[in-house]
Amino acid sequence: MREQLYSLKEQALTDLQPQDSLQAINDWKVKYLGKKGELTAILRGMGALSAEERPVVGQLVNDVRDALELAYGEKEAEFKKAERNKRLAEEAIDVSLPGRAISVGSEHPLNQLIRDIEDIFLGLGFTVVEGPEVEYDYFNFEAMNVPKNHPARDMQDTFYITEELLMRTQTSPVQARVMGAKSAEARANGQEHPDPIRIISPGRVYRRDDDDATHSHAFMQIEGLVVDRNIRMSDLKGTLLTFARQIFGESVQVRLRPSYFPFTEPSTEVDATCHNCGGTGCRTCKGTGWIEILGAGMVHPSVLELAGYDPTVFSGFAFGMGVERTAMRRYGIEDIRGFYQNDVRLMQNFKSRM
């Protein structure tokens, strides 16, 4: 039986050497060490041994099994290592390859323009304030010198929430809100007069309009308001000229045309020389050389008074411009609806500025 065990060990070890895969050594293990394997077969014959011989041979069987398992373990480790190295080589990442670019969105052109305009006015000492889009009739109209039944209301029909609450038709109510807040503050502090004001206010406004290439029922405006002692029309013109030159270029001229707004007196329409032809006349400016950029005027004394500013002490100017119209001109967009359709093909043109 000893002979049998020794030769089994020799044969098994010799047999293991040429095996060249995990699968092959597993077959080998089953053949020699498995339940139906050759070592187990020898073990079964132990019943025939004497009581003295049995522990000795038992020990020998264990030694042979240990030797075979050790040999198997070494071989297995070899294969596993080779397999892992192969996988590592296959899965290696070339960190020197350029990455795949992620497509980054861009700020909406209207917001870009608003930010640029804010920057210009911040540079002139203005601060930026915002007002609510759902507004009281009082601030949107009455405080702006448009009482109930005033004919000027027809030009700015809008969406009503209740009799007294509406979607604001203009950013001008922010004027009344800011002046009202300042004079309340002054009263609370026991000041004789409220503080001067220099603000701009961008935001969305609403009108009952049929949407087409140049109209939208919701659009953006930027309001401007300056109230102080001795504010004159020349301050308005100088401020708007400075603004127009920064937005449209240094060679731009502005002109004021008489106009009418209920909350300014006198009122004016402000034109800038056509950015396309420089003022000589072309298709863009319909041959006039000028393009209207905003409405403005000197704050009406009634508006000052209603908001708690003494019109014999204070004067001011205000302006309101349409953001879309300015953006259409600046970016050469011909249909206002392009701003609202979220078409990435259009928006992608404004990426560089992020």
- Specify binding-site residues: 265
Those residues with Cβ within 8 angstroms of residue 259's Cβ, 6 or more apart along the chain or in another chain: 267, 268, 269, 295, 297
Instruction: Please give the single-letter amino acid code of residue 11.
Output: Q
Instruction: Please report whether residue 326 would count as binding ligand PHE according to CB under 6 A.
Output: no
Count of residues that interact with ligand PHE, criterion CB under 6 A: 10
- From 295, 306, 315, 324, residue interacting with ligand PHE (rule: CB under 6 A): 295
Residue number closest to ligand PHE, CB atom? 320
Q: Which stretch binds ligand PHE (CB under 6 A): 10-18, 27-35, 238-246, 291-299?
A: 291-299
* Summary count for the chain: helices (H), strands (E): 11, 10
Q: Are strands 254-261 and 218-228 parallel, antiparallel or unpaired?
A: unpaired
Least spacing, CB of residue 319 vs ligand PHE, in Å = 5
* Closer residue to ligand PHE, CB minimum distance, 219 or 290: 219
131 in contact with ligand PHE (CB under 6 A) = no
Residue 109 or 320 with smaller CB distance to ligand PHE: 320
Give the interface segment with ligand PHE, choosing from 105-113, 276-284, 294-302, 334-342 (CB under 6 A).
294-302
Q: How far is residue 41 from each of residues 34, 70, 144, 245, measured CA to CA in Å?
A: 10, 20, 108, 103
Looking at the DSSP bridge assignments, the partners of residue 256 are: 270
The number of beta carbons lying within 10 Å of the beta carbon of residue 63 is 12
Min. distance of Cβ 131 from ligand PHE in angstroms? Answer: 12
Scanning residues 248 to 267, which ones bind ligand PHE (CB under 6 A)?
A: 261, 264
Which residues, 169 to 208, sit near ligand PHE by CB under 6 A? 170, 172
Q: Is the Cβ of residue 202 or residue 297 nearer to ligand PHE in the bound state?
A: 297
| Nearest by Cα to 252 from 284, 269, 277 | 277
**Helix spans in the chain (H):** 2-16, 22-33, 38-44, 53-91, 109-123, 137-140, 173-189, 233-248, 301-306, 323-331, 344-347
- The binding site for Mg(2+) consists of 265
Q: Which stretch binds ligand PHE (CB under 6 A): 83-91, 229-237, 318-326, 334-342?
A: 318-326
Binding window for ligand PHE (CB under 6 A); candidates: 99-107, 176-184, 230-238, 314-322: 314-322
Rounded CA gap, 118 and 205, in Å?
18
The residue among 222 and 328 lying less far from ligand PHE, judged by its C-beta, is 222
Measure the CA–CA gap between 97 and 274, rounded to whole angstroms: 50
d(CA 114, CA 67): 83
37 binds ligand PHE (CB under 6 A): no
Rounded to the nearest 5 degrees, what angle is found at the Cα of 173, between the Cα atoms of 264 and 261? 25
Nearer to ligand PHE, 16 or 231 (CB): 231
Per CB under 6 A, residues contacting ligand PHE are: 170, 172, 261, 264, 295-297, 318-320
